[in-house]
Amino acid sequence: MNVIKCKDLVKKYGNTKALDGLSFHIEENKITGLIGRNGAGKTTLLKIIAGFFQETSGEISVFGERPFNSLYVSANSIYINDEMTFPSTLRLSEILDAASQFYEKWDAQLAERLFDYFSFRSNQYHNNLSKGMKSTFNMIVGLSSRCALTIFDEPTTGMDAAVRSDFYRALLKDYIDYPRSIIISSHHLNEIEHLLEDLLLLKDGKVNLHLSITELKEWAIGIQGDAMLIDEWAKDKEIIHLKDIGTNRQYVVVRNNFTDSELRRARLAGLDISSVDPSDLCVYLTNKNKGGIDDVFRKAESFN
């Protein structure tokens, strides 16, 4: 069953398209990573899914309903980010009590255990917490809600490394015990790769890739060796990234549609074939130039 369906989804701010014709679906009971650089459209998409924003055109359904102003979507989903605000008159313990009245599947015991583990005090106020502690408390609300659709938008902002690790471990353990649809947005795939089943990669408001993590790991390969040999082997391939690594030597990342026999011949010719780290691949795919920052210096050299 698909929890989310999008078809030709567009969101405009004035004359600028934050989302430009997105079409995809997300299945239930999976952890999906929404990856992209700052400004790629991640938060806009998530707020449309959560029902906070209205799409400009196209179609979107969540649990079979258009999410904007949908009470059903609101009651069965939660959106967590670092800008969450709570009533300034409520203490942290009172916020958790209020949340238990709203979310049908709220787990008070989990909330209490996490609250104690991260050393919160009942009489603290949310707006007096540090940025990292706010993110940690927000995470407690997101996990304890046990919503059928749980959205974490850059959830670890301000957290130190140990707390981030604890958060990801808590999320995975609770998901295993209580499967639901979880979306985590980030521009750091390496931190959340071990959690994910699927990945949705955005670039400039468009879907760049949508596939499983297993497929992503095989989607591209790296080739390293003599520059002339690489030119020959990669001339008809989709080049994603190109880097000079010495005199007459290059490293390229290409779409992996080689046959096994082609790869064997490439190795016999003296080329090194390697897998590509998924996080690096996402960086390469969302670069404006195939050479990344190196292209800036190539252009400078061409003027000299």
Indicate whether 37 belongs to any domain.
yes
pLDDT on residue 53: 95
Indicate whether 296 belongs to any domain.
no
Q: Say whether both 30 and 74 belong to one domain.
A: yes
Q: Say whether both 35 and 14 belong to one domain.
A: yes
Structural domain boundaries, residue 247: 220-275
Q: What is the CATH number of the domain that holds 136?
A: 3.40.50.300
pLDDT on residue 48: 97
Q: Which of 165, 200, 216 is the last residue of a domain?
A: 216
Question: Is 224 in contact with 274 (CB distance < 8 Å)?
Answer: yes
pLDDT on residue 26: 96
Q: Say whether both 271 and 167 belong to one domain.
A: no
Tell me phi and psi for residue 174, to 5 degrees: -70, -35
Expressed in percent and rounded to 5, the helix, strand and coil fractions of the chain are: 40, 30, 30
pLDDT on residue 290: 64
- Give all strands (DSSP E) within the chain, no chain letters: 2-13, 16-27, 31-35, 57-62, 77-81, 149-153, 181-186, 198-203, 206-212, 220-226, 239-246, 249-255, 272-275
Cβ within 8 Å of residue 109, ≥6 positions away? none
pLDDT on residue 298: 56
pLDDT on residue 191: 87
For 252, the token pair is 């390229």
Q: Say whether both 132 and 260 belong to one domain.
A: no
Q: Hey, is 303 helix, strand or coil?
A: helix
Indicate whether 136 belongs to any domain.
yes
Q: Say whether both 162 and 268 belong to one domain.
A: no
Indicate whether 301 belongs to any domain.
no
As a whole number of angstroms, the distance between CA 147 and CA 103 comes to 7
Q: Say whether both 49 and 188 belong to one domain.
A: yes
Indicate whether 96 belongs to any domain.
yes
Q: Which of 216, 241, 263 is the last residue of a domain?
A: 216
pLDDT on residue 259: 87
For 100, the token pair is 């238990």
pLDDT on residue 302: 52
Beta bridge partners of 243: 251
Cβ neighbour number for residue 209 with a 10 Å cutoff: 17
Q: Say whether both 120 and 20 belong to one domain.
A: yes
**CA-closest candidate to residue 149, choices 210, 215, 60:** 60
Q: Say whether both 77 and 161 belong to one domain.
A: yes
For 175, the token pair is 């998901």
Indicate whether 79 belongs to any domain.
yes
Q: What is the CATH number of the domain that holds 270?
A: 3.30.70
Indicate whether 103 belongs to any domain.
yes
Q: Say whether both 191 and 225 belong to one domain.
A: no
Nearest-Å Rg of the Cα atoms of the chain is 22
As a whole number of angstroms, the distance between CA 154 and CA 45 comes to 13
As for how many domains the chain has, the answer is 2
As a whole number of angstroms, the distance between CA 268 and CA 225 comes to 12
| Ramachandran category for residue 6: left, alpha or beta (phi over 0 → left; psi -120 to 50 → alpha) | beta
Indicate whether 28 belongs to any domain.
yes
* Each residue's pLDDT expressed in tens, for the chain with a length of 304 residues: 899 999 999 999 999 999 999 999 999 999 999 999 989 999 999 999 999 999 999 999 999 999 999 999 999 999 999 888 899 999 999 999 999 999 999 999 999 999 999 999 999 999 999 999 999 999 999 999 999 999 999 999 899 999 999 999 999 999 999 999 999 998 778 889 999 999 999 999 999 999 999 999 999 999 999 999 998 888 888 999 999 988 889 999 999 988 899 889 889 999 999 999 999 999 999 987 766 666 666 554 554 5
The model's pTM is 0.90
Cβ within 8 Å of residue 249, ≥6 positions away? 224, 225, 226, 227
- The H or E element that residue 161 is part of is helix 161-177
As a whole number of angstroms, the distance between CA 143 and CA 145 comes to 6
As a whole number of angstroms, the distance between CA 153 and CA 207 comes to 17
Q: Say whether both 42 and 24 belong to one domain.
A: yes
Q: Say whether both 211 and 224 belong to one domain.
A: no
Q: Say whether both 60 and 46 belong to one domain.
A: yes
Residue 26: alpha-carbon gap to chain centroid:
13
**Sign (positive or negative) of CA dihedral 159, 161, 165, 166:** negative
pLDDT on residue 288: 78
